[in-house]
Amino acid sequence: MKKAVYYAVETPLGEMRIHVHDGRPVLVTLPDRNQEAEEGSASAPIPAAVSRLRQALEAYFQGKDVPCVYIDGLVDSICRTPFEGAVLKEVARIPRGEVRSYSEIAELAGYPRAARAVGNVMHDNPFPIVIPCHRVIRKDGSIGGFGGAEGQKAWLLDYESRG
């Protein structure tokens, strides 16, 4: 069995990590102030799938969004249920600088009574930034959670609003 490794991506938020198993990305982690260098940090050669994901993250921080075509393939490779896939694809369609509520995403995904379940999918989103779960907020307009990092969610929303 191969050891899981990660590739670091420097961002304005700090070091994000693309975790890889058997040559394919399985998780992107946001910067963590308590994050320490771990064994498993990888170096070249970078697998093509990791390179595409790294480019997507870098493009985001250059003011661009990730094409939905790329996201659709990524979502299809990770979703365990049709519900998860529908939710993540709807979230991916939220334009930069805009937000949607959990209930709006549930409605758009075809599950109008599943706002709480949308929240669970957002919490478990393995590819934050690329699938912009930070753009999903509460119906009352408050930002809600973001894997315990509400400050990062607020920063990302502010960053996007600046153009």
**What is the C-alpha separation between 123 and 46, in angstroms, rounded?**
28
Residue 119, pLDDT > 60, answer yes
Mean pLDDT score, 14-27: 88
Q: State the virtual CA torsion across 127, 76, 132, 36 in degrees, nearest 10.
A: 0
| Per-residue model confidence (pLDDT) at position 82 | 94
pLDDT (tens digit, 9 = 90+) per residue, 124-163?
A: 999 999 999 999 999 999 988 766 588 889 999 999 988 6
Give the domain ranges of the chain. Answer: 81-161
Q: What is the pTM of this model?
A: 0.87
The CATH fold assigned to 81-161 is Arc Repressor Mutant, subunit A (1.10.10)
Residue 76, pLDDT > 90, answer no
14 phi/psi in degrees, rounded to 5 = 125, -165
User: Is 71 in contact with 130 (CB distance < 8 Å)?
Assistant: yes
- Mean of per-residue pLDDT scores for the chain: 86
Confidence of residue 113 (pLDDT cuts 50, 70, 90): very high
Buried b (16+ CB within 10 A) or exposed e, 60-72: beeeebbeeeebe
Question: Among residues 56, 87, 109, 133, which one is catalytic?
Answer: 133
**Residue (of 18, 94, 95, 2) closest to 52 by Cα position:** 18
Task: Establish whether 133 is a catalytic residue.
Answer: yes
Confidence of residue 33 (pLDDT cuts 50, 70, 90): low
| Per-residue model confidence (pLDDT) at position 45 | 78
Among 30-39, 80-89, 99-108, which range has the highest average pLDDT?
99-108
Confidence of residue 43 (pLDDT cuts 50, 70, 90): low
45 phi/psi in degrees, rounded to 5 = -80, 145
Residue 116, pLDDT > 70, answer yes
| Per-residue model confidence (pLDDT) at position 147 | 64
